[in-house]
Structure 1
Amino acid sequence: MLSVVIVAFYKFVELPDYRDRKRPLRDLCQQQQVQGSILLAAEGINGTIAGTRQGIDTILAFLRQDVALADLTHKESLADFMPFTRMKVRLKREIVNLGMPDITPHKQVGQYVPSDEWNALISDPDVLLIDTRNDFEVELGTFKGAINPKIISFNQFPDFVGQNLDPTRHKKIAMFCTGGIRCEKATAYMLEQGFEEVYHLKDGILKYLEDTLEEDSLWQGGCFVFDGRITVEHQLQPVPIELCPMCHLAIQPAHRTSPKYELGVSCPNCADDLTLERVERARDRQKHRAQQAIQRGLPSPQDMQPS
């Protein structure tokens, strides 16, 4: 039964008192037994949380009672298990780390493109389509014809732009990301760099996959999500897949028979590059997860492996 409600939300908005918001928000989440992660910064809020319907509705109502967040939107999906193990509310310089806290998406961003207009835009031969996500995410799935900047983290995106893009040559640029937050900030940065016609997928890949029939879709593969589901596809159905926690690459069935594969620790793609210290830390984390699962009556990490 799909009884766990998962919601993702963000908003770029000036929150000068963001530090004061941490404790009451964290306490309410704990009271409602809601788990996940929420980031607070002077530039806004960004979170993904999961819980019961009542718990999630309580948190969203609490956030929206503030005039600054009254129009906060969210994306919702359901699961049959809790995808998070704890609740974290963190204070940050940025709610998504471009490494440029002075960029102001709440003042200037590119043009939002809804899901039902996205196919037409990216089918235009004059449009340069860019995936703003990290390389390991792109490897799992992306839009047909999209450029992979091959970045390890989002704060490398400005370097990619500086080395590969030119406002005088690249007139129309469309960008996308998982839920919309990275590409929204990317458009704000590119407008500051002199690019004039910049578009981004409203509410991100997840909204597109939710709204678009598979036969009409230009999406190829799975979409990585930052929770226990790991990867979803059309209609946000989870895809059974295991990712290596070290290199974030997909574990293939043949990898599990390799002596370099260890559940939750390493895979043949990265085992030779790991120090003994990192391996031991990963083993400790895996042991801790297994103990937590037993205490909560949940499946162990071994039981949750894709077949």
Structure 2
Amino acid sequence: MCGTLLLAPEGINGTIAAHPAEMDKMIEFLDEKLGVRTAETACELKFSHATKQPFNRFKVRPKKELITLRKPEANPHERVGTYVEPKDWNDLINDPDVILVDTRNDYETKVGIFDGAIDPDMKIFTEFPEWVEKNLNPDKDKKVAMFCTGGIRCEKASSYMLAHGFENVYHLKGGILQYLEEIPQEESKWKGDCFVFDQRVGVGHGLKEGDWSVCHACREPLSPEDRQHEDFEDGISCHHCKSGLTAEREKALRDRQRFYKGKYSSR
């Protein structure tokens, strides 16, 4: 079993990978301890498949916030936007009066995004309040719809916006992953794959693994075309970071690459 679980006063979030029997035992344990399947405290459990182990280890991390925003008024337990089921999402975002906002980070949006969505180009989620202040107006922007990977960030974003005067705020229930799982590709408004925080890197419709990797130097997602670029060297650099790679950093990366090649080739 491998993966990450985040525990905070506001709830639990994470991704676990295991064989089916082990997964059943873990869910039973989490339900017993945290009520992940109990009606009053149930979590949205999503299942998908990986062709290889997507994490290197298993870890549990206690946090003050599941998704760091540092805005106490953003409390989904007190206020939250309108949840929109995946089957109703297309109708909502087809409304010309709806402003569609991606609440994910910039490296995630490079892998895929909803057609017509605004990309705030954020490095981290804590930049969201400033972006809202500069780009949206509750008196003019009457309807705002938001989405994220699994539904937690946009849930928190909706709470923040309601606290700051926005009235008609919507977010995709279950996030992009739920949408890709439920909506047939021929009906989909999604373009590309969805970035995920494990070694699969990206998944597409039906939650099928895409053909993405991550640069070990700068952690940017790389498409097959990116890996053909002259600046790409596996484990060392890509076209995003090659120009800024110092000699010291390159040496450290090459040492690490030799270590891992030796470690796994000896198995």
TM-score, scaled to structure 2:
0.90
Distance 1:291 1:86, change over 3 A: farther
| Equivalent residues of 1:175, 1:201 under 8 A apart | yes
Match of 1:174 in 2: 145
Q: Offset at 1:257?
A: 5.6
Distance 1:290 1:114, change over 3 A: farther
Match of 1:62 in 2: 29
Residue 107 (structure 2) pairs with residue 100 (structure 1): no
Residue 188 (structure 2) pairs with residue 217 (structure 1): yes
Q: Which has the higher contact order (CA 8 A, sep 6+)?
A: 2
State how far apart, in whole Å, the 1-side matches of 2:64 and 2:87 are. 34
Taking the TM superposition and a 5 Å limit, the aligned residue runs for 1:63-212 are 63-66=30-33, 69=36, 70=38, 71-100=42-71, 103-212=74-183
Report SS of the residue matched to 1:199: strand
Which residue identity is paired with 1:41?
A
State how far apart, in whole Å, the 2-side matches of 1:283 and 1:66 are. 44
State how far apart, in whole Å, the 2-side matches of 1:136 and 1:106 are. 29
Q: Offset at 1:227?
A: 1.1
1:264 to 235, 248, 257: 235
Q: Offset at 1:278?
A: 3.5
1:250 to 199, 214, 222: 222
Report SS of the residue matched to 1:190: helix
State how far apart, in whole Å, the 2-side matches of 1:291 and 1:94 are. 39
| Equivalent residues of 2:211, 2:224 under 8 A apart | no
Q: Offset at 1:228?
A: 1.4
Structure 1's unaligned 5+ residue stretches are 1-33, 298-307
Q: Offset at 1:43?
A: 2.1
Structure 2's unaligned 5+ residue stretches are none
Report SS of the residue matched to 1:90: strand
State how far apart, in whole Å, the 2-side matches of 1:92 and 1:121 are. 34
Distance 1:253 1:128, change over 3 A: closer
| Equivalent residues of 2:226, 2:239 under 8 A apart | no
Match of 1:44 in 2: 11
Report SS of the residue matched to 2:60: strand
Q: Offset at 1:189?
A: 0.9
State how far apart, in whole Å, the 2-side matches of 1:257 and 1:220 are. 23
Report SS of the residue matched to 1:174: strand
| Equivalent residues of 1:94, 1:101 under 8 A apart | no
Give the RMSD, CA atoms, in angstroms.
2.0
Distance 1:286 1:78, change over 3 A: same
Report SS of the residue matched to 2:49: strand
Per-residue CA distance 1:50-85 (angstroms, 9 max, x = gap) = 001121111111111246543122100112211111
Per-residue CA distance 1:250-297 (angstroms, 9 max, x = gap) = 255475462x322122112211123344434444444454455446x5
| Equivalent residues of 2:44, 2:174 under 8 A apart | no
Match of 1:53 in 2: 20
| Equivalent residues of 1:180, 1:203 under 8 A apart | yes
Report SS of the residue matched to 2:213: coil
Q: Offset at 1:135?
A: 1.1
Distance 1:265 1:93, change over 3 A: farther
Distance 1:103 1:241, change over 3 A: same
State how far apart, in whole Å, the 2-side matches of 1:94 and 1:287 are. 38
Distance 1:148 1:65, change over 3 A: same
TM-score, scaled to structure 1:
0.79
